[in-house]
Copies of this chain bind each other. A is one copy, B any other.
């Protein structure tokens, strides 16, 4: 049916069309089904959109388009369109095949990813794909196809340098903010470190959130390239680069479903590292009873990463680290940045555990790239950190990202909790600690969070300092204190 584009202008985040009920019935289409829209130009363009029904402000022969639909078609108000019902994309059949436990060919996986990027699949259909992969897994060949499909869905860097390095941690450990330190040490030694990080998904803060307390992290890819050629590194938010759009979409839905499939995790990490042209990759897998993965699962994950590394001809190393306790003192964007600055600044004393883990990771990268001999990486990293070169490099990166290194302070609304008994801290529940920080306002409230006075393994007196809670308002702080009291975060005996 031929319809005219109505004058209203609205953004829906994706291509959407609205029709009156009467018009929809004539076309034979229901709300939330797919429409095919075709321009009337010489070289007609077609897109598929979702239909919504409205009853006011629209004539019988009109169609209302979201700005995303207009720009994708290249059309303006008043123009005509050919509108008909559109059948679901073939990729939906492939998703159902996966759900039934079938193996998907390279072509089928690429079609699914293409349809995700081009908005041809609804969110619920992407959720179905995620559930299917979660349920049935993917074999090595399928995982390779998925990585390649992710890669070809977006932009990529071509950093020609021989020494492009990267690191990634699978997360799950509160306060584990090694990235800014490792990047600064490595870049100070001449390695190229195009680091893109995520914002918090379920934790108190992501590296991007922490860097944002001092500098911009939402930077277009062209500018990031300039920052890297100037400073050898960057510390940006991955979402702004548009490098792996399929992955971003999948992650946002996984977040809602709160399921985390291994094949998608592998593909997500590998595609992002390949997109920036990394040749040396270090992967940190914190493991243990209190971490995201157990030791057994970590060993299997390590094997899979290494196999993928060999396939893509990368120098890739996986290190299993202790995931049973928090690292550093602060949890929350500003509190974590305070720790990072204290470690980087040679005139200050930062948390020893955060410093040691950062030096260990930087040392591993030095040995992987042969910047230092086996067993000498940690020493080289320590020399660079102690010399102040890493801190200078960090300042350089922050300034290149329109920021400045300044002293930070957490919120003034705070409450310190004291230990009710004398003993040794046998355990701190990582997940409950993260929930507490989230309830304090993290990651949205940058100045909120938790300061850990003592960590696992340390002795504490009755009445000794345990933690300090920070929130951005008095009333929220009161609720956080109440919430803390309901949780058994510490095991002291």
Which residues of chain A have a CB within 8 Å of any CB of chain B?
1, 25-30, 84-88, 90, 93, 96, 99-100, 124, 127-128, 131, 135, 256-259, 431-432, 435, 439, 441, 444, 471-477, 479, 482-483, 486-487
The reply to whether A28 and B474 contact each other, CB–CB distance below 8 Å, is: yes
The reply to whether A475 and B28 contact each other, CB–CB distance below 8 Å, is: yes
Pick the 4 closest A-B CB pairs, nearest first. A28-B476, A28-B473, A87-B483, A128-B258
> Cα distance A124–B131 when bound, in Å?
15
The reply to whether B258 and A479 contact each other, CB–CB distance below 8 Å, is: no
Chain A interface secondary structure, helix, strand, loop or mixed? helix
Contacts beyond the supplied A1-B475, A85-B476, A93-B432: 14 A-B pairs with Cβ under 8 Å:
A26-B473, A26-B475, A28-B471, A28-B472, A28-B475, A84-B479, A85-B475, A87-B479, A87-B486, A88-B435, A88-B439, A93-B487, A124-B258, A127-B257
Contact of A135 among B85, B259, B474 (CB under 8 A): B259
Contact of A29 among B30, B124, B431, B476 (CB under 8 A): B476
**29 A–B pairs (Cβ distance < 8 Å), ordered by A:** A1-B475, A25-B473, A26-B475, A27-B475, A27-B476, A28-B441, A28-B471, A28-B473, A28-B475, A28-B477, A28-B479, A29-B476, A30-B444, A84-B475, A84-B479, A85-B475, A85-B476, A86-B479, A87-B439, A87-B479, A87-B482, A88-B435, A96-B431, A99-B258, A100-B431, A124-B256, A127-B258, A128-B258, A135-B259
> Cα distance A28–B470 when bound, in Å?
12
Residues from chain B with a CB closer than 8 A to the CB of A124 are 256, 258
The reply to whether B486 and A90 contact each other, CB–CB distance below 8 Å, is: yes
A429 vs chain B, min Cβ distance (A): 10
Residues from chain B with a CB closer than 8 A to the CB of A439 are 87-88
A430 vs chain B, min Cβ distance (A): 11
A25 vs chain B, min Cβ distance (A): 7
Residues from chain B with a CB closer than 8 A to the CB of A258 are 99, 124, 127-128, 131
> Cα distance A135–B131 when bound, in Å?
11
A484 vs chain B, min Cβ distance (A): 10
Please name the residue on chain B nearest to A256 by beta carbon.
B124
Please name the residue on chain B nearest to A475 by beta carbon.
B28
> Which of A86, A100, A131 counts the most chain B CB atoms within 10 A?
A131
A252 vs chain B, min Cβ distance (A): 12
Contact of A85 among B25, B479, B487 (CB under 8 A): B479
> Cα distance A435–B125 when bound, in Å?
14
Residues from chain B with a CB closer than 8 A to the CB of A28 are 441, 471-477, 479
Residues from chain B with a CB closer than 8 A to the CB of A444 are 30
A382 vs chain B, min Cβ distance (A): 37
Residues from chain B with a CB closer than 8 A to the CB of A135 are 259
A417 vs chain B, min Cβ distance (A): 16
Residues from chain B with a CB closer than 8 A to the CB of A435 are 88
The reply to whether B86 and A30 contact each other, CB–CB distance below 8 Å, is: no
Contact of A256 among B84, B127, B482 (CB under 8 A): B127
A108 vs chain B, min Cβ distance (A): 15
> Cα distance A475–B475 when bound, in Å?
59
> Which of A124, A432, A479, A482 counts the most chain B CB atoms within 10 A?
A479
> Cα distance A84–B471 when bound, in Å?
15
Please name the residue on chain B nearest to A474 by beta carbon.
B28
The reply to whether A259 and B85 contact each other, CB–CB distance below 8 Å, is: no
Residues from chain B with a CB closer than 8 A to the CB of A482 are 87
Residues from chain B with a CB closer than 8 A to the CB of A432 are 93
A48 vs chain B, min Cβ distance (A): 12
> Cα distance A27–B473 when bound, in Å?
7
> Cα distance A127–B253 when bound, in Å?
12
Please name the residue on chain B nearest to A413 by beta carbon.
B28
> Which of A1, A127, A476 counts the most chain B CB atoms within 10 A?
A476
Please name the residue on chain B nearest to A127 by beta carbon.
B257
> Cα distance A93–B84 when bound, in Å?
48
> Cα distance A93–B90 when bound, in Å?
40
Please name the residue on chain B nearest to A125 by beta carbon.
B258
Residues from chain B with a CB closer than 8 A to the CB of A256 are 124, 127
